[in-house]
Amino acid sequence: MLMHNYKRFGMILLLLTPLFITITCKKKNSAIKIDHDRVTQSLPGNRVSAGYMNITNTMEKDDTLLSVDTDDFETVEFHNMFEENGVMKMEPMDSVVIKGGQSVSFTPGGMHIMLINNKREIKAGEKIQLNLHFENAGLIKLTSPVKSIEEQVE
Amino acid sequence: MTKKIRICFIGIFLLMAAGISSCKHEQPKLEILDTIGSDFTLTDQNGKAFNLKDVRGKVVLMFFGYTNCPDVCPITLAKFGAAYQKLGSSADEVKTIFVSVDGQRDTPEKLKKYLSYFKYNPIGLTGTPDEISKVVKSFKVLFVKRLTGNSNGYLFDHSTATFLIDKEGRVRHLFGQTDRPETIANVINVLLKSN
């Protein structure tokens, strides 16, 4: 009887495997594609870093990046940078819309993700996990490399 | 026929002249920008009084920023590091000054720690809001404090120009945010040769 139950459980597991694979691979098949993601190292005595990446929305429908969180920083914000009459202005943004079929880039000297008050020193060569929350695509977890400041000079 | 050859020659001459003038255009003029800047005194990262006169005899790269700035400020300082490498032995004749506009948070100790990361030994300057404000005005730099409402407190809208100051303490050129390390090194070399 017990043996029979084990067999049944095994069969159920076997049948559920494709579903499990589909769920775990969902990130790769997501409508949102992310590349060139990286976070800058922290500098001595300083607790801020910047996050950069390209986000592409492969769907026709617009999507919105609502927020980013990580265990390594207290606060994460989106900042838009633009130059006006030789003055660099920084404007916090509540969310970032990625139009259908288009890409948005967070780049050095441009729009960036500001990571505020680190909970530990963030060293170049490490990796940190970022949780990106999209309105439609839901949660996308990224494991992004930490790069030195020098590597951001283009 | 002779007329055609003459027209041809005139055409070639004009093209050459245009070529020469466009080549000339690539070289920065490095005029003395005497309406910008003057000597000033602030406090360096060792807590000592620093006057711009203290670096007479050196070419100076001067940049205004603050240590809590996550993007433009550290990248600009790293860019200077790359420019120093391109300068080779001439790098000894160049000094970098990072003027903090955030005297409230950027104490000499904080500046010292922050700037220790950069191998080319930049000078970090800070002061009281009044002292900083005088320097900012003299260099026609614009800084606007902006409250953020988060735990970081505030940020600044700020000018991103870097001032190139000659060995006599005169502003000779302004670099923008998009200028690459190669450009910075080239312009410094032009200034060093003209001295």
- Give the 3-state secondary structure of residue B193: helix
Are B40 and B55 found together in one domain? yes
Provide the ipTM: 0.76
Q: What is the DSSP string of chain A?
A: -HHHHHHHHHHHHHHHHHHHHHHHTTTTT-SEEEEEEEEEPPPTT--EEEEEEEEEE-SSS-EEEEEEE-TTEEEEEEEEEEEETTEEEEEEES-EEE-TT-EEEE-TTSSEEEEEEESS---TT-EEEEEEEETTTEEEEEEEEEE-SGGG--
Q: Is B160 helix (H, G, I), strand (E, B) or coil?
A: coil
pLDDT of residue B84: 97
| pLDDT attached to residue B128 | 95
Least confident of A99-113, B3-17, B60-74, B117-131: B3-17
Coil, strand, or helix at residue B50?
strand
CB-count burial class (<10 Å; 0-12, 13-18, 19+) for B12: exposed
- The DSSP secondary structure of B11-40, one letter per residue, reads HHHHHHHHHHHHHHHHS------TTS----
A84 pLDDT band, cuts 50/70/90, is confident
Instruction: Enumerate the residues of chain A whose CB falls inside 8 A of the CB of residue B67.
Output: 43, 45-46
Question: By CB neighbour count within 10 A (0-12 exposed, 13-18 middle, 19+ buried), where does A65 fall?
Answer: buried
The rounded distance, in Å, linking the Cα atoms of B150 and A137 is 27
Alpha-carbon gap: A42 to the closest alpha carbon of chain B (Å): 9
Q: Are residues B65 and B15 in the same domain?
A: no
Identify the residue among B71, B79, B85 best suited for mutation to test binding to A, counting A beta carbons within 10 A and taking the highest. B71
Residues in chain A closer than 8 A to B107 (CB atoms):
none
Residue-wise pLDDT for A34-81, tens only, equals 999 999 999 998 999 999 999 999 999 999 999 999 999 999 999 988
Q: Are residues B41 and B17 in the same domain?
A: no
Chain segment B136-165, per-residue pLDDT in tens: 999 988 888 877 666 567 878 777 789 999
* Cα B76 → chain centroid: 9
Domain A32-152 has CATH 3.40.50.300: no
pLDDT digits (tens, 9 = 90+) for B88-98: 999 999 999 99
**What pLDDT is attached to residue A29?**
54
Same domain, B68 and B104: yes
Domain that holds residue B76: 31-194
CATH number of residue B42's parent domain: 3.40.30.10
Name every chain A residue with its beta carbon within 8 A of the beta carbon of B84: none
Helix (H, G, I), strand (E, B) or coil at B159: strand
Chain A partners within 8 Å of B72 (Cβ): 81, 88, 109
Give me the DSSP letters along B64-103: EE-TT--SHHHHHHHHHHHHHHHHGGGGGGEEEEEEES-T
Residues B124 and B150 in one domain: yes
Using the Cβ of A83 and the Cβ atoms of chain B, whether some distance falls under 8 Å is answered with yes
Nearest chain A Cα to B116, which residue? Answer: A44
Tell me the longest C-alpha to C-alpha distance in chain B: 81
Lowest mean pLDDT among B90-94, B105-109, B191-195: B191-195
Same domain? B57 vs B10 = no
Rounded Cα gap, residues A138 and B159, in angstroms: 38
Residue B17, judged by CB atoms within 10 A of its CB (0-12, 13-18, 19+), counts as exposed
Asked if B113 and B92 sit in the same domain, the reply is yes
Give the residue from chain B lying closest to A108, CA to CA: B71
Residues B5, B39 share a domain? no
pLDDT (0 to 100) of residue B91: 96
Q: Count the domains in chain B.
A: 2
Cβ–Cβ of A116/B152 closer than 8 Å?
yes
Residues B118 and B176 in one domain: yes
* pLDDT for residue A22: 44
What are B91's two structure tokens? Answer: 């790098």
In chain B, the residue whose alpha carbon lies closest to the alpha carbon of A107 is B71
In three-state secondary structure terms, B42 is strand
User: What does the pLDDT look like over A4-15, one tens digit per residue?
Assistant: 666 665 565 555
Least confident of A28-37, A131-140, B86-95: A28-37
Q: Which of B70, B110, B114 sits opposite A50 (nearest CB)?
A: B70
Test B70 with A112 for CB contact under 8 angstroms.
Answer: yes
Asked if A48 has any chain B CB less than 8 Å from its own CB, the reply is: yes
A75 in B contact zone (CB under 8 Å): yes
**Over the Cα atoms of chain A, what is R_g?**
20
What pLDDT score was predicted for residue B159?
77
Which of chain B's residues have a Cβ under 8 Å away from the Cβ of A43? 67, 74, 114, 117
Give yes or no: residues B114 and B95 share one domain: yes
Domain ranges of chain A: 1-29, 32-152
**pLDDT averaged over every residue in chain A:** 86
CB A113 within 8 A of CB A76: yes
Q: Please answer yes or no on whether B177 and A153 come within 8 Å at the CB atom.
A: no
Closest approach of B41 to chain A, Cα-based (Å):
24
Same domain? B114 vs B160: yes
Tell whether A43 lies on the interface with B, counting CB pairs under 8 A. Answer: yes
Co-location of B46 and B23 in the same domain: no
